[in-house]
Structures are given as C-alpha cells and as structure tokens.
Amino acid sequence: MQVAGTRILITGASSGIGEALSKLMAKHGARVILVSENQTELQRVTRDIAATGGDAVSVTLDLTSSDRAGAIARLEAEHGPIDVLINNAGMGLGAAVTETKDKDLRLVFELNFFASFDLARQALQQMRSRQRGVIVNVTSAAARLGSPGISVYSATKGAVHAFSQALRIEAAASGIQVCECLPISVQTKFFANARGSKYTPGGVVITPERVAFTIYRAISRNQVPCEILPFRPIRLAFVLDACLPGVLPSLAIAAQNRRIRAEARDHNA
C-alpha cells in the first residue's frame, strides 16, 4: 500500500509508539487521525506534525467508555474512509496473580483487548464495502511468552494475538489485510504509567521509533506480513517455545529461584 494519501487511524497516539507512528506516517504523506484520552498530549503531537507540514487531526476519546460505540463510522463521516487502523492503545499492570485486583483486571482487558476487538470489528464492517484496508494490532512478545509480574498484561496481549490470527483469515475474503506487531520492551513511559506495582523490563529495550518504522515498512508492502517483529531475534525464542515448550519456563523458574535465594542472603546478612 502506498502510504502517501491514505487515512490512517492510530489509537494511543499521544505518546510512545503511537506518537512515533503518527509522526512517521504523516511525514510520508498520510493523513493521520490521532486518538487518545489524553487531550493535552494529543494536541501537542498534532501541533508537532502540523509544524513539519503534516496533516493530522486529533480525537479525544476514552476507549474504555461507551463513547467507543460507532466511533469508526463517526470518524469516517467526518474525515473520510479510513484505509488503515492501527490498534496501539494499551496499558500495563504490574502485579502478581494473587495481588491482582478485579477492577484492574477488567480495566486492562477493556482497553487492551475489548477496545482493539471492537474497533477492528467496526473497521472491518466499513472496509468490507470498499474491499480494501489494513488492520494492525500492536501486541507484545508477551503475547507469545507470558511474563511473571505482568500476567494480566500478557493475557490481554495473548488474547489479541489469537484474535488477530482468526481475524486475518476472516478479513481476507473481503480483501482486507490484518497483521500483528509484537515488540519487546520499548523505551517509553509505558511501564512508569502502568497500574499496580512498578515493573522494570530486563534485557534489550528498543525505541518507539524502531517499532514505528517496522510497521510503516510492513504496511507499505503490497502484501502485508502476518507478523511484524521489531526485534527479530525474539523469533528464536518463539520457535524454541513452540518446539520445546518446557525449556523457557524452566529457565525462568531457575532464574527466579536464584533471585529469591540472593534476596534471602542479603536480608540475613
């Protein structure tokens, strides 16, 4: 798809990956429709894009509220047909399973899964009549490799992963392409803003601009790939887990036990 001249709707556009995506797509000639509940930051991103000659409109919308109903049809009526939907909005939750509060569990699922499902469903209904369009669901490597301490977040992204696989097949009959982006930890305020206890990602951390570029490159192709991996080495972990499903959990448990023993020694010292 030629990005220039398209209309691209990006959720979670006020910061992080969404902000980087918005600026990059606008730079390449797309008209970007930016959605977030953070009006102040959303307007800042819109001004930044306008200052560089880009075409952007901001839409303040709480995707966990009833205002989400019919949003795609309303936006198309005001701004024209949407060619690409990028479901990027999301929130984290740092909590052990036994410490997870019901209200947090339901809120994170509402934004991370139900909002993505609902907007994709709405977009599919609109795009079907045109027999074209692209839907990108931004999930996480945690969708395939659940992580301790962020079990709810991992579960929401795992749900979007399975949904994306099913939607890809259903949508193909209408000429609509669906892909999923699975980044590893990204250098944003995401973890600082997460609900619950503080979660500090370990290992490699990539930039939001890197994620944005891989998505841009993917949707610029005539045939959008099924999966986008901004950090390609993670595929080795996916393959290992698929072929030998007990290996990675065993390594994680061993690392956890070492950490517990080290903390106990420090406490007794």
pLDDT digits (tens, 9 = 90+) for 141-194: 999 999 899 999 999 999 999 999 999 999 999 999 999 999 999 988 776 777
List all residues 6 or more positions away from 66 whose beta carbon is below 8 Å from its beta carbon: none
pLDDT in tens, 229-249: 999 999 999 999 999 999 998
Cα–Cα dist 65/63, whole Å:
5
Query: pLDDT value at position 197?
Result: 67
Neighbours of 205 (CB within 10 A): 14
Mean residue pLDDT across the chain = 94
Give the sign of the dihedral formed by CA 140, CA 141, CA 147, CA 151: positive
Instruction: From the candidates 15, 31, 111, 153, give the one annotated as an active-site residue.
Output: 153
Cα–Cα dist 107/179, whole Å:
25
Structure tokens that stand for 236 in this block: 């080795």
Q: What percent of the chain has pLDDT over 90?
A: 86
Cα–Cα dist 138/30, whole Å:
19
Does an H or E element contain 34, and which?
strand 31-36
pTM of the predicted protein model: 0.92
Reported as a pLDDT band with limits 50, 70 and 90, residue 65 is very high
Active site residue 216: no
In the predicted model, what is the mean pLDDT of residues 27-52? 97
Report CA 63 to chain centroid distance, whole Å. 14
pLDDT in tens, 103-135: 999 999 999 999 999 999 999 999 999 999 999
Tell which residue, 199, 173, 179, has the closest CA to residue 188: 199
